[in-house]
């Protein structure tokens, strides 16, 4: 039976595609690889090129590891290995400041198109803790209501402790995530959150923190 090609073989083919592309098209490929789902508007925003989607369409037509989903607005998607390859090439070719800026920009585009989890990953690579905090604040309640506390807890990964405490609501949601895994720690954090809400004059926040504290007491039995 034929085994799947190893990464070396894949990198060879992917490298051939990249090397044969015109420099401007290569730039489009490298930058759009930051996005999971690529729309025409997102491609233009990230590359500054009006013809960005034509490059993607060309890759799709040539069957170069690029899928297109038709719809009211078509979206393109790189195969996972190809996307990883392109991202690695981007990391090698862009200077750190440009790379961080592109990741933040791509993160904002993904957050806007309803892919906050993908946005969090890019913000983490760009060390943009404030942007992650904003996503936690806007999505945490919906994630918790859907029983997706593990997803929310994952968004906190890599966040420095100072970022947890930068904003009362971020601290509150961190505490709520901890209820399941370490209720004692959650209790301490909720007390801290309650006080932070009080200092900020946020009575709604205080109410939520007190409610969560009652839940911890119940969990601890």
pLDDT above 70 coverage of the chain, percent: 97
Those residues whose C-beta lies under 8 Å from the C-beta of residue 179, and which sit 6 or more positions away, are: 186, 212, 215, 216, 219
Pairwise CA distance, residues 34 & 125, whole Å: 11
Sort 28 into a burial class: Cβ within 10 Å, 0-12 / 13-18 / 19+.
buried
Q: Give the H/E segment covering residue 37.
A: none
Residue pLDDT, tens place only, 111-149: 998 899 999 999 999 999 999 999 999 999 999 999 999
Torsional class of 21: left (φ above 0), alpha (ψ -120 to 50), beta (otherwise): beta
Per-residue pLDDT at 5: 56
Per-residue pLDDT at 72: 84
Pairwise CA distance, residues 119 & 103, whole Å: 9
Give how far the C-alpha of residue 169 lies from the chain's centroid of Cα atoms, to the nearest Å. Answer: 20
Residue 12 pLDDT grade (very low, low, confident, very high; cuts 50, 70, 90):
confident
Mean pLDDT of 18-24: 89
Cα 168–Cα 201–Cα 148 angle in degrees, nearest 5:
35
Residue 7 pLDDT grade (very low, low, confident, very high; cuts 50, 70, 90):
low
Among residues 33, 171, 36, the alpha carbon closest in space to that of 117 is found at 36
> For residue 211, what are its two tokens?
């409610």
């Amino acid at each position: 039976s034929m085994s799947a090609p190893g990464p070396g073989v894949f990198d060879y083919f992917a490298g051939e595609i990249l090397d044969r592309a015109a420099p401007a098209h290569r730039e489009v490929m490298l930058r759009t690889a930051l996005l999971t789902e690529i729309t025409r508007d997102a491609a233009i925003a990230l590359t500054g090129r009006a013809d960005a989607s034509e490059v993607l369409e060309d890759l799709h037509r040539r069957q170069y590891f690029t899928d297109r989903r038709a719809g009211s607005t078509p979206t393109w998607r790189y195969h996972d290995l190809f996307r990883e390859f392109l991202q690695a090439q981007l990391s090698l070719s862009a200077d750190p400041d440009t790379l961080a800026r592109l990741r933040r920009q791509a993160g904002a585009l993904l957050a806007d198109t309803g892919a906050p989890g993908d946005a969090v990953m890019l913000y983490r690579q760009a060390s943009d803790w404030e942007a992650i905090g904003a996503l936690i604040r806007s999505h945490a309640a919906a994630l918790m209501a859907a029983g997706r506390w593990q997803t929310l807890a994952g968004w906190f990964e890599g966040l420095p402790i100072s970022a947890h405490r930068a904003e009362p609501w971020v601290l509150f949601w961190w505490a709520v995530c901890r209820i399941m895994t370490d209720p004692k720690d959650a209790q301490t954090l909720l007390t801290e959150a309650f006080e932070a809400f009080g200092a900020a004059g946020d009575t709604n926040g205080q109410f939520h923190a007190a409610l969560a504290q009652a839940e911890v007491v119940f969990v601890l039995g």
